[in-house]
C-alpha cells in the first residue's frame, strides 16, 4: 500500500494537491486527526485500497505532535509512506486568505490572520523536516499539480536531488537546502533577441557558454554539490534541494539548473524545477 500524507500550512495548497491525487485514482481523506491514522490506514488496506492520500494538519488538534512516531510505526509495517509538506511565505498566505475571505483555522477572536499563520508555522516546525517540502508562494495551481505528480512517482528508496531555479526578485524558496547566487554573471536579459527566451533555449545557452566566468561558476557549484552530497545522504536525508537564483529566474539560473541536473542524473535520482517559468 502506498500512503501519501499531505500536511503543511493552511492556505498553502493542500486541497489542490489532494484533489489532484483523487483524480489520479487515490482514495482521499481530508482533515483526519492523526490519532486515527494507524487504524484508518490498516482498515483501508484490508479493504483492498492500494493508493491512499490523507490530509492532516492543525485542524486535527494536538494529535499532530504524534505524527513522527506514527510514520515510523507505519513504515515498520511495510507501508510505503510519503509525506508532502506544503508551505508559503507569510505575505502570500495573508493575501490568499484575504482574497478567498476564508477564516484561518487558528484565527480565533484574540488572534489576527498574521498571528495565526505564525502560530501554525511554529506548531508544524517539527513536521516540515519529515518529508518533501514545497514552497507554493509563487506557484499556480497547475504547477503545483505537476510537482505533486512528480513527487508520487519518485523512488523512495533513493535520495532525490532537487535542482530548482528561481528569481531573487520573487524571494528565496523556503524549501531550499543550498542556495547559489548567479546574478553576477552576464545577463541575457539585456539582449532584445534573447530576452523573451529562457535558459533552456540554445541561443541563450550559446551566449552563456561564450563567457569564461559562467563556466567557472558552474564548475564551482558542481564541485561543491558533488563534494557534500554524500554527507547529506549519509545523514539519512531523503531530499536535498539545491536552489540557483538569478534576478528574474528566466535565463542564468535556468541554464545552471538544467546543466547541473544533467550532470547528476546518471548518479542520483534528480528532479529539476523552474519556479518562474510557466
pLDDT digits (tens, 9 = 90+) for 161-209: 999 999 999 999 999 999 999 999 999 999 999 999 999 999 999 999 9
Expressed as residue numbers, the domain containing 27 is: 2-153
Tell me the pLDDT band of 33, cut-offs 50, 70 and 90: confident
Residues 85, 190, single domain; the answer is no
Residues 148, 190, single domain; the answer is no
User: How far, in Å, CA of 261 to CA of 132, rounded?
Assistant: 18
Residues 173, 148, single domain; the answer is no
Residues 121, 14, single domain; the answer is yes
The answer to whether residue 44 scores a pLDDT higher than 80 is yes
Residues 116, 142, single domain; the answer is yes
Boundary-marking domain end, from 94, 124, 153: 153
**pTM over the 0.95 mark:** no
Residues 117, 186, single domain; the answer is no
3-state secondary structure of 245: strand
Q: Phi-psi bin for 238: left (phi > 0), alpha (psi -120 to 50), beta?
A: alpha
User: How far, in Å, CA of 40 to CA of 176, rounded?
Assistant: 33
Residues 170, 115, single domain; the answer is no
Number of domain units in the chain: 2
Residues 53, 118, single domain; the answer is yes
Residues 180, 98, single domain; the answer is no
Boundary-marking domain end, from 153, 186, 221: 153
Residues 58, 184, single domain; the answer is no
The answer to whether residue 109 scores a pLDDT higher than 70 is no
The answer to whether residue 72 scores a pLDDT higher than 90 is no
The answer to whether residue 47 scores a pLDDT higher than 90 is no
Residues 27, 133, single domain; the answer is yes
Rounded mean pLDDT of the chain?
Answer: 92
- Nearest in space to 82 (alpha carbons), one of 66, 71, 90: 71
CATH number for the domain harbouring residue 137 = 3.40.50.300
Residues 233, 131, single domain; the answer is no
Higher pLDDT, 104 or 219: 219
The answer to whether residue 121 scores a pLDDT higher than 90 is yes
Amino acid at each position: 500500500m502506498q500512503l501519501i500524507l499531505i500536511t503543511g500550512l493552511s492556505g498553502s495548497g493542500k486541497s489542490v494537491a489532494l484533489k489532484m491525487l483523487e483524480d489520479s485514482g487515490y482514495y482521499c481523506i481530508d482533515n483526519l486527526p492523526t490519532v486515527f491514522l494507524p487504524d484508518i490506514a490498516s482498515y483501508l488496506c484490508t479493504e483492498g485500497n492500494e493508493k491512499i492520500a490523507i490530509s492532516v494538519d492543525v485542524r486535527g488538534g494536538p494529535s499532530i505532535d504524534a505524527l513522527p512516531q506514527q510514520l515510523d510505526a507505519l513504515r515498520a509495517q511495510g507501508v510505503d509512506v510519503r509525506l508532502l509538506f506544503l508551505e508559503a511565505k507569510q505575505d502570500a498566505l495573508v493575501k490568499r486568505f484575504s482574497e478567498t475571505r476564508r477564516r484561518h483555522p487558528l484565527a480565533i477572536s484574540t488572534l489576527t490572520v498574521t498571528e495565526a499563520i505564525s502560530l501554525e508555522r511554529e506548531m508544524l516546525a517539527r513536521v516540515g523536516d519529515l518529508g518533501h517540502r514545497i514552497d507554493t508562494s509563487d506557484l499556480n495551481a497547475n504547477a503545483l499539480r505537476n510537482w505533486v505528480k512528480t513527487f508520487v512517482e519518485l523512488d523512495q528508496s533513493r535520495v532525490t536531488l532537487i535542482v530548482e531555479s528561481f528569481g531573487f526578485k520573487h524571494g528565496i524558496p523556503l524549501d531550499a537546502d543550498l542556495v547559489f547566487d548567479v546574478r553576477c554573471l552576464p545577463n541575457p536579459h539585456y539582449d532584445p533577441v534573447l530576452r523573451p527566451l529562457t535558459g533552456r533555449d540554445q541561443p541563450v545557452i550559446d551566449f552563456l557558454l561564450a563567457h569564461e566566468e559562467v563556466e567557472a561558476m558552474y564548475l564551482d557549484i558542481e564541485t561543491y554539490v558533488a563534494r557534500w552530497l554524500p554527507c547529506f545522504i549519509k545523514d539519512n536525508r531523503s531530499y536535498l534541494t539545491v536552489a540557483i537564483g538569478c534576478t528574474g529566474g528566466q535565463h542564468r539560473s535556468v541554464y545552471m539548473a538544467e546543466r547541473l541536473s544533467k550532470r547528476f542524473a546518471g548518479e542520483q535520482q534528480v528532479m529539476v524545477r523552474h519556479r518562474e517559468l510557466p
